Each structure stands twice: as C-alpha cells, then as structure tokens.
Structure 1
Amino acid sequence: MYPLERYSNHEHDHEQTIEDPKTRKLPGTCSSVFLVLVAALESVLTSGVVFGWAPLQIMLQEEGVYAYKCQTKFPCEEQAVQLQMMYTLATSAFCFCVWPTGLVLDSLGPRICCMMGALLFGAGCFIFAISTSAMDLFMLGYILMAVGGLPIVLSMMHLANLLPAYSGTIITILNVMIDVSSLNLKVMKLVTDHTPFTRKDAFSMYVAAPAAILITAPCLWPRDRYEERGATNASQVAAPSLKTSSFWKQVRSAEFLMCAFFTAFHLLHINLYIGTVDDQLRMMWFTNSSSPFDENLRTLHLSGYAKALHYEESLQPSQNVVQSLCSLFAWILPLGGLVMTLPVGYTLDNFPLWVGIALLSAAAILHSVCTLIARTEIQIVGFLLFAYYRAALFGTMATTVAFTFGYDNFGKLWGTLYAISGLFNFSIEPLAVLAQKQETFYWINLCIAVVSGILFLTYPPWLRWKSKDKSQVEEPLLVPDFTLDVNQ
C-alpha cells in the first residue's frame, strides 16, 4: 500500500476533486484505442517507406532509369551509383529534418504537423509517379516522401498520454511502424511484377493514402497535444522532474546528454550493421570456408536492409548461405521488430526505465557476440536479437525523452538527439572502409561489444541511482491524520 493510501491530507484531497478542463476533454478508452490504431496505420503507410529501397531500386533498373550512365552493358555500376545517390539524399534528409519537424510540432501542434507531412508525402508520391528518364524528378519525389513521412509519425507520439498504463507500448509501436513501412515497396514490387500495373500506376494510387490522412486529420487529431492523465506507468513514476524546465535547460541536463550519447552510439551500431550486413556475412563465410573468394561477385544494389547480389558464375555453397541469410534478415528486421514490440512495451509499462535500457544494452552485447561466430544458427539468433535491439532502442529512448522531459519540447529534443546521432553516423563509411581493408568486421564488432558492455555497466545503474535520488528528494512528507471520524 502506498503512503497516499495510508495517510490522508484533506487539502490534497480537495485539490484532487477539481477536474482539469483539459483532462475532461480526453477521449474515452475505446476512442483512445481507436485513435492509436489509426495512428499506427497512418504511420505504417508513410513513415519509413523510403527505407525499403532495395526493391524500388530493382524496379527502376528494370525500367531503365539512368541507363544512359552505362557505357557497355546494362545494368551497370554507374547506374547503381546514381540510384544510390537518390537513396542517400533521401535518408539524409529524413535525419536532418527531424529537428525542424520537431519545431513545427512543438509550435503548431500535432494536427498541423500531421497535415504538413501528408502534403509533402503526397506531393512526393505524385512527383515520383510522373517522373520519367526524360523528366528526371525521381530524386525530388523520393526526398519529399522521406521528409513527409516523418511529421506524421512524430505527431502521433503524444497519443501515449491517452492510455498511460500502456504508454511505453504505444510509443514503441509507433517507432516500429517505421521499420514495418519499409515493406510497402516490397509489396509494390510484387504488384507490378504480377499485375498489369506499372510503377507510375502504383505510385499514383498510393497518393490516396496521404490524401486520406490529410482530409481526416482535422477530424481525428487535436490542435494541441493531449495532456497526461497521470503517472500510472512504472517508468513514468520514476522519471525526473524536468518536464517543467525550459528547452535549453533540458538539453544541457546530464539526463539528456547521457541519453544522447547512449542513443547515438547504439544508432551508429544499428545503421552500420544494416548497411554492411551482407558484406559482414560474405567476409565471415568466405574467410571461414575452404573455397576462395569469388572475384566475380559484384554488388549491384548497394542499399536497403539487404543488398541484392549478382553472380556471373555458379553459386558456391557459401554464397548460397550468404544470400539466404541476407534475404532472411530483410524480413526479420521489420516483422521481427513488430513482434518485439510486445516484450519491449511490457518492459516499459511495468518496470522502471533503467530496466528497459539495461535489456536493450544486453541485446546489443549479445548481438555483437553473434557477429563474431560464423555459424548459420548463431546468425539467425543474432537477427532476432537485432530485431529486439532496434525496436527497444527507438521505443525505449523515445519513451525516455517523453517521460523524463514531457511533451512540451518533445519534438525539439528528439530532433536534437537525432542530429547528434547523425554526427556519429558520419563514421560509418570510414569504419566500412577499414573493414574492407582488413577483410573482416571482427575487430570492429569486438570493439562495439566492449563499448556496449561499458555502457551496460554505467548508464542503467546511473539511471537507477538518479531515480532513487529524485524519489527521496521529491517525495512529500505526509503527516498521519489522527482525526477521529465519529461516523465510523
């Protein structure tokens, strides 16, 4: 039994009877669940579509986009590099637009932010649909889709306040939808392969999704973010009281700086692995197999969750293993991440934040260890750990920002955190080049495991200490009420 139940305070009880007018306007439980489901649907339709690049690249190559870059045969590496530039610029725009998107969210509210995203995403789909080799607007359209999907999912984060007992799960689901939405282009590729629809038809019809979001936004989403019902979530109870501080005080706090460094390092780990998973597997298997490395193995598709590999000669057994593992990883990452929202959300909803952060740190360490062992079953276990790790990182750190600092400056804080992480990501290319020179990712992955272990031993214990320190300082001193109730 909590102290508030053992002791009474008449003045406090009187204040509790005064209902906050903002709280009175909150939707009921059924309506709240409906809004969360709609938010998840809108996010999966738009938020991370650009990250499912590999099938779209194949579609564009088959269509002959940038085929003029090829001097002798088609397709060629020059064409692949030009297409890769489109993906690189779009994903970079996604990262660097987080802060301005957060500024719009904090200043104008979730409704305007969502409508802005729908307009940008819809314009991107339309421009991409009408683009041709003669009218090359592919890059503009793809960039608009990237920066348009972000405001939609970011504007939904405050919905966690509607169901505070499940707030961690809601935030995790919305973040994982970014991964799941990367499958949309895979589905689009299957449709164009097995139906008369073309790329132009598919993207023209897809404009209906952002159009529906734009039209329904004034009816579904509030002008201002929903206020918190109360701290009934275990993670929220232990959160430091920085919610009423200014943005600059929050961003200079030890809580934010530690959170930013932790997130930036692990996001570097995640992006490095996603971008080099096929290279890591090839180096691992060919280094540990008796067959020499096939010099005819060439990379045609340089991006996405798994790169499509082209072989000029018959496949060796090791090459078959690598190709199968890459294909498996491409499906495990989004779908496994969706399944992992259940354990991640349960942890955030029922345990303090430091527990969730400790678990994702442990998953990072175990995954790094798996990357050191050239066994198929170990790699599959590593894929599953990675799916949990990625879902836990985005869900847990977004929850940490929301519960620690509140939602008044959530957009700017999340954008600042992304900007810091973007600076860390500049080291991905040098690390990949270093691994290519060494012909192994072993030492890089070993270093990642060591740093992850150091963070595991420092950051979660520090959070636990801070939460205990805050609870001791801020817990009010309650005086027992010895008043005799004559009615008893």
Structure 2
Amino acid sequence: MRSSLIGCFDIRIIQLLCAVTWCLLSAGLIFGFAALKPVLIAQHVYEDLCYINVAEDPVVELPCTKQDLRLNKMFAVGAVVTNIAALPVGWVLDNYGPRICGIVGALFLFSGSFIYISAKHISFLDPYLTGYISLAIGGPFVFISSFQLANTFPKYSGSILAVITGAFDSSSALFLFYRIYYEKVDPDFNLKKFFTLYLVVPVFIVLCQLFIMPFESYKTLGAVHKLEVEGLDEDGNLPEGQDASMVIPDADECSSLLSGTGPQIQPVLSHGSRRKSVLENYVEARLEKRTRGIFGVLHEKSALEQIKSYWFILMLLFTIVTMLRINYFVATVRSQEEYLLRDSKLAALMNSIFDVALPLLGILSIPIIGIILDNLETYSVLLLVCGLSVFIGIMGLIPSFYPNLLGILLLVAFRPFYYTVVSDYCSKIFGFETFGVVYGSMICVSGCLNFFQTYLDKLTHTTFDMNPTPVNVGLLATTVVISVALLGYIRTQSKRRATLIDDALKSPVATYNST
C-alpha cells in the first residue's frame, strides 16, 4: 500500500495532510468549551443538581449555580489535564516514537467518545467529566507527535510548524460547528449522535499511523525547535537540500568560513563542551548578538540547574497566571459579559464572536507572530507579551461593549502568541538538549496550578454574586507584579551580558560576526 502511494505522491506530503487533518479535528478540541456549553445546558447535563433543594427554593433558573459550576469545572479539569499531559507525551515520543504516541492519543480520543455515547448508562463515575478528561489527554498526544514532521521538508520547517499550530488553534471550531448545527438544523443531533460520528477521527488516526506515518521520529522536540530557531539540525549542519549561502549571505565570507581560511566566529559568552560546526558557531554568535547575550545563557547547564534558576521561576510564574486568566475567561465568558453588559442578548452576541474569533484569529495571527519573533530581541518580545496581557486585562474590566470586544479579539490573537513566546524563550534560554524536560515541566506545573480556576469560579458565583471584577482585578494585579519582576530581571541580565560581549570584543584575541 505504501509503495503504491509513493508512486503517485510524495509520501511526506500525505503524512503532512494526515497530521493537519487530525490536528484540525482533535488537537485542541476541549478549548471549544464556550461553544459546547450551551449544548450541554440544552441537553440537561448536570441539570439534576438544580433540583436537589427545590422544596427550599421552588424557583429554579437554569443554569443554576451548581450546574454552572460543575460545567465550568469540567473545562477547568480538562485544561489542567491537557497541560499536564505535555510532559508524559514528550517522554513517550522520545522513547517509543511518533507512531506509538499517536496511537495512544487516538485510544484516549476513542475512549472519551465512547464514554459520551454511553453516558446515560454510566452511574459509577461522572461520564461527562471523565469523557472530557480523556479527550483532553488525547489532544496533546496526537498534536505533539506531529511536530517531528517539521523535518519532512527542512527548507519549509517553519511554515510546516505554523500550519500544524494553526490546525491546533482551529480545532476548537469543531464544537462551534456542532452547536450551530444543533441549534439551527437538527436539535435531535444530541451528544450521543455527535460522538458516534466522531469515532471516525481516532480510527482515522490509527490507520494513518499504521500505514502512512513514519515509525521513527524524524526529529526530537528539541531538534525541531533547533531547526526552527537556528535553521540547523541537531548536529549543527544544514538540512538536506540547503546550502550555506542561505545562512551566510555574503559569498566571500561564506567561502572563507567553510574553507577554514577566515576568522573563527563563535559565541563570546558560551562555547559549550560539544564541538560545534562552523555554521552552528556562526548562527549562534549572530543570535547571541541579536538578543544582547540572552541566547545561550543556560545552554550548558543541566535541566535541574535550569529549573532552579530565576530565568525558569519567573517565566513559570508568568505562564501560570496567564494560563489561569485565559482558561478562566474561556469557561466563564458568557456569565462575565452578562454581568458587565447587563444585557443577555449582547452577552450572547459576545459569546458568539468569541467562539468564531478563537479559531479564526488564532490562525491569522501566526504569520504576525513569526515576523515579531524574527525581528525583535527577546526582551522586546517579552515586553510586548506582558504589555498586551495587562492591556487585555484592563479592557475586561470596563463595563462597555466595545472595550470588551477589543479585549476579546486581542485575547484570542494573544493566546497562540503567548504559547509560542514561551516555547521560543525556553529554546533560546535553556537550549535544545533539555528543551523537552524544561518546557514540559513549565507547562505541566502551570497546568496543575490552573486547577485554582475552579476556586476562582466558585468565588465569583458565591462570594461576589456573579461579579467577575474582583477576580479579574486580582489576576490583573498579579500579572503586573510578575511582569515587572520578569522584565526587570531580564533587562538587568541583558545589560550585564551585553557589557560582557562588548568587553570581550575589545580583546585582541576575540573575533565576532559583525553582521
């Protein structure tokens, strides 16, 4: 079968099409919760919680507080689990390869769908929560296992990663399409029917993994990010099909460097124990200079030393609060807008805009993200991320339609930007050899602490009588404090390392790239 496919098409194109397809249908499915929630309410999920004390309170407004909290908890737990899964996914991928990783993800998607199909007959556990958790675990397995395809066409690795990431951002739209079909076309198309149809997705993934996808990984996660950041493979060489002129534009300089007759060009502040190629030294020297010494700051440290550093701790704190703010808003967007705007129709409209904008603007922002990362130094990128985060928080406090709308549009574009910046930061600061452990640990810890979202939701419903402002003010204030600490630390370190570079360049034995 494989040979016949190769005869018609390049198998690598088919592999990419398969990966993009399943990422569109499963990678970030659970983040479409805001669109799915009205369907769950309409199909009476957790509605029985509203009638437990009906004798004491005969007037029941749906969704009641207990029902709303339980639904929001379902998303909160799913969001926590999907981030925690990043660490075991990396381990499975590195030890068993992408095929096993993808099949494991498909099994979780299948079990989650089956649980929803059988929900009416399951009483020994909460089928809706359990099914959502299973879908949340399956997503990262099938998504992260697709990253290694970036090296199928090394010349276009950045574009391939952008397409796969765009598919992840778009996958939340599946629940939106389901809600539209359910409300406008067929109100009998219930959860059982939807997830019965959805079983096609995990079956498709398994068939692709068995008959089309590579068994061995083209690249590890760290190697993929090295390829994305440096344009070089894990050995410091250009991928097949590229020549040195793509890295060193000046023909004379390129020729002299490769022939060994030119001056030795290497990073001033970090050299490392591994012998590096001429091109690797050239690229890393250029990155070190462009980032004012930030690139490579902890590349030669062990993963434990990196995790204990302020570089890791401060970014971890920023990641925790940012992830918490995003997931809290996704779970409560409708109720927040109802309180702020005092108009259920405007709140419904805002919810609908959010459902459409989440996948759409997530895709449209990807090229802009690439341009920003390619043209701004690390500190400037982080300054932009922190500034946007604070501005979005301020917009969410204003009880007016247009500021809230602006905040929502910026939030959905900010979400992929923030995740991309965190991974870019980890690769540049901590290096590629420890990338899987360090980045996975950061996302895993952040995911665990995001369970605090359920407590914030309960505070909003009870203590603050559905007023989201106190919680949002607290999250915003925390963001400001952590942002100032993170930016202050990086600014100080950047200046210190830039001074070290300048001093080193004045030494008669030091040579450095002038571009």
TM-score by length of 1: 0.71
Match for residue 42 of structure 1 among 10, 18, 22: 22
- Residue 132 (1) aligns with residue 120 (2): yes
Q: 1:107 maps to what in 2?
A: 95
How far is the alpha carbon of 1:242 from its aligned partner? 4.8
How far is the alpha carbon of 1:393 from its aligned partner? 0.7
Q: 1:237 maps to what in 2?
A: 287
Q: Distance in 2 between matches of 1:276 and 1:82?
A: 12
Give 1:187's aligned amino acid.
F
Q: 1:264 maps to what in 2?
A: 320
Give 1:42's aligned amino acid.
W
Q: 2:84 maps to what in 1?
A: 96
CA displacement, residues 279-328 of structure 1 (integer Å, 9 cap, x when unaligned): 44344345xxxxxxxxxxxxxxxxxxxxxxxxxxxxxxx44333322332
Task: Describe how 1:76-475 pairs up with structure 2 within 5 A.
Answer: 77=64, 79-80=67-68, 82-133=70-121, 137-160=127-150, 171=161, 174-175=164-165, 177-193=167-183, 194-195=185-186, 197-218=189-210, 219-226=212-219, 227=223, 228=226, 231-232=230-231, 237-238=287-288, 239-240=295-296, 242=298, 245-286=301-342, 318-429=343-454, 431=456, 437=464, 439=467, 440-441=469-470, 443-444=473-474, 447-448=477-478, 450-451=480-481, 454-455=484-485, 457-458=487-488, 461=491, 464-465=494-495, 468=498
Q: Distance in 2 between matches of 1:240 and 1:327?
A: 44
Q: Distance in 1 between matches of 2:204 and 2:189?
A: 22
How far is the alpha carbon of 1:450 from its aligned partner? 3.2
Q: Distance in 2 between matches of 1:473 and 1:40?
A: 48
How far is the alpha carbon of 1:274 from its aligned partner? 3.1
**Per the alignment, in what secondary structure is the counterpart of residue 132 of structure 1?**
helix
Are the equivalent residues in 2 in contact too, given 1:124–1:145 (CA < 8 A)? yes
Give 1:231's aligned amino acid.
E
- Judged with a 3 Å threshold, the aligned counterparts in structure 2 of structure 1 residues 41 and 258 are, in CA distance, closer, same or farther, namely farther
Pairs aligned (count): 420
Give 1:437's aligned amino acid.
F
Give 1:209's aligned amino acid.
V
Q: Distance in 2 between matches of 1:479 and 1:352?
A: 19
- Judged with a 3 Å threshold, the aligned counterparts in structure 2 of structure 1 residues 109 and 460 are, in CA distance, closer, same or farther, namely farther
Are the equivalent residues in 2 in contact too, given 1:169–1:346 (CA < 8 A)? no
Are the equivalent residues in 2 in contact too, given 1:175–1:394 (CA < 8 A)? no
- Judged with a 3 Å threshold, the aligned counterparts in structure 2 of structure 1 residues 37 and 151 are, in CA distance, closer, same or farther, namely same
Give 2:484's aligned amino acid.
I
Higher mean alpha-carbon deviation, 257-266 vs 387-396, is at 257-266
Gap runs ≥5 in structure 1: 1-29, 287-317, 481-488
- Judged with a 3 Å threshold, the aligned counterparts in structure 2 of structure 1 residues 35 and 79 are, in CA distance, closer, same or farther, namely same
Give 1:215's aligned amino acid.
L
Q: Distance in 2 between matches of 1:412 and 1:133?
A: 41
- Judged with a 3 Å threshold, the aligned counterparts in structure 2 of structure 1 residues 473 and 198 are, in CA distance, closer, same or farther, namely farther
Are the equivalent residues in 1 in contact too, given 2:98–2:214 (CA < 8 A)? yes
CA displacement, residues 448-480 of structure 1 (integer Å, 9 cap, x when unaligned): 563365257425535744774797799994599
Give 1:251's aligned amino acid.
I
How far is the alpha carbon of 1:187 from its aligned partner? 1.5
Are the equivalent residues in 2 in contact too, given 1:42–1:213 (CA < 8 A)? yes
CA displacement, residues 262-293 of structure 1 (integer Å, 9 cap, x when unaligned): 3223223323333444444344345xxxxxxx
How far is the alpha carbon of 1:209 from its aligned partner? 1.6
Give 1:326's aligned amino acid.
N
CA RMSD of the aligned region, Å? 4.0
Higher mean alpha-carbon deviation, 170-179 vs 329-338, is at 170-179
CA displacement, residues 412-436 of structure 1 (integer Å, 9 cap, x when unaligned): 3233112331354354455556665
Q: Distance in 1 between matches of 2:16 and 2:429?
A: 22
Are the equivalent residues in 1 in contact too, given 2:76–2:327 (CA < 8 A)? no
- Judged with a 3 Å threshold, the aligned counterparts in structure 2 of structure 1 residues 469 and 160 are, in CA distance, closer, same or farther, namely farther
User: Percent identity between the aligned chains?
Assistant: 25
Give 1:122's aligned amino acid.
F
Q: Distance in 2 between matches of 1:353 and 1:164?
A: 25
Are the equivalent residues in 1 in contact too, given 2:76–2:454 (CA < 8 A)? no
- Judged with a 3 Å threshold, the aligned counterparts in structure 2 of structure 1 residues 44 and 414 are, in CA distance, closer, same or farther, namely farther
Q: Distance in 1 between matches of 2:492 and 2:500?
A: 12
Gap runs ≥5 in structure 2: 1-9, 55-59, 233-282, 289-294
How far is the alpha carbon of 1:376 from its aligned partner? 2.3
Higher mean alpha-carbon deviation, 446-455 vs 358-367, is at 446-455
Are the equivalent residues in 2 in contact too, given 1:179–1:333 (CA < 8 A)? yes
CA displacement, residues 325-344 of structure 1 (integer Å, 9 cap, x when unaligned): 23322322232122111211
**Per the alignment, in what secondary structure is the counterpart of residue 172 of structure 2?**
helix
**Per the alignment, in what secondary structure is the counterpart of residue 52 of structure 1?**
helix
Give 1:220's aligned amino acid.
M
Are the equivalent residues in 1 in contact too, given 2:69–2:458 (CA < 8 A)? no
Q: Distance in 1 between matches of 2:156 and 2:314?
A: 25
- Judged with a 3 Å threshold, the aligned counterparts in structure 2 of structure 1 residues 128 and 257 are, in CA distance, closer, same or farther, namely same
Give 1:320's aligned amino acid.
K
- Judged with a 3 Å threshold, the aligned counterparts in structure 2 of structure 1 residues 267 and 323 are, in CA distance, closer, same or farther, namely same
- Judged with a 3 Å threshold, the aligned counterparts in structure 2 of structure 1 residues 53 and 208 are, in CA distance, closer, same or farther, namely same
Are the equivalent residues in 1 in contact too, given 2:382–2:487 (CA < 8 A)? no
- Judged with a 3 Å threshold, the aligned counterparts in structure 2 of structure 1 residues 244 and 118 are, in CA distance, closer, same or farther, namely farther
Higher mean alpha-carbon deviation, 259-268 vs 136-145, is at 136-145
Are the equivalent residues in 2 in contact too, given 1:265–1:424 (CA < 8 A)? no
